[in-house]
Amino acid sequence: LTVISGGAANNTVVNSSGRLYATSGGTANNTVVNSWGVIIVTDGGSANNVTVCSGGTFTLRSGGQAEDVTLHAAAYLSLEVVPDTYCTGKIAEKSFSMSNGVLSNCNFYRGLVEIFSGGIAKDTAVFHSGDILINNGASAYDTVIAAGGECYVPGGIVDRITVSSGG
């Protein structure tokens, strides 16, 4: 299901192998993503009140806006940190936010957070099966890489990073 140009998908359940795209002015409201389901918000799309259950995937790409996103600890997060992308929500009951290219207080367990030029991550923790990628022109501060987490720095800057055993 692709929602574009002023369209809206309301009260949608995305089940196994299902995909919901919100792009180019499309909006998804009150969405539940079950195991193996995917929601992708990108390039002018928006989503409000999204619940991602264990095994489901939430993807936010450049130009997307998402508010009130709740992810289970075993949900998969795919996030692009760039100045034109906005997000608020919770992962395993811990609140996080991203605005004006700054990702704050994001503790995630599965997935990839990719920070692009002009983007910043601060007070972030990467657990279990999570990866954080800090590209050229990007930076991360006060980051914890816990057991099973990975941090890649192909040209970006990290400061005050803590790497735990197994990270």
Beta strands in 82-119 (DSSP E): 86-91, 94-99, 102-104, 107-115
For position 124, what pLDDT does the model report?
A: 95
Name the phi and psi angles at 73, rounded to 5: -55, -30
What is the per-residue pLDDT across 11-53, written as a single tens digit (0 to 9) for each? 999 999 999 999 999 999 999 999 999 999 999 999 999 999 9
Residue 128 has pLDDT above 90, yes or no: no
For position 115, what pLDDT does the model report?
A: 97
Residue 150 has pLDDT above 80, yes or no: yes
What is the per-residue pLDDT across 47-94, written as a single tens digit (0 to 9) for each? 999 999 999 999 999 999 999 999 999 999 999 999 999 999 999 999
Round to whole Å and give the CA distance between 83 and 39: 21
What is the per-residue pLDDT across 96-118, written as a single tens digit (0 to 9) for each? 999 999 999 999 999 999 999 99
Round to whole Å and give the CA distance between 151 and 118: 18
Query: pLDDT-based confidence at 165, cuts 50/70/90?
Result: confident
Average pLDDT over residues 152-165: 93
Write down the pTM of the prediction.
Answer: 0.94
Of 48, 107, 49, residue with least CA distance to 79: 107
For position 166, what pLDDT does the model report?
A: 81
Tokens matching residue 122: 């601060």
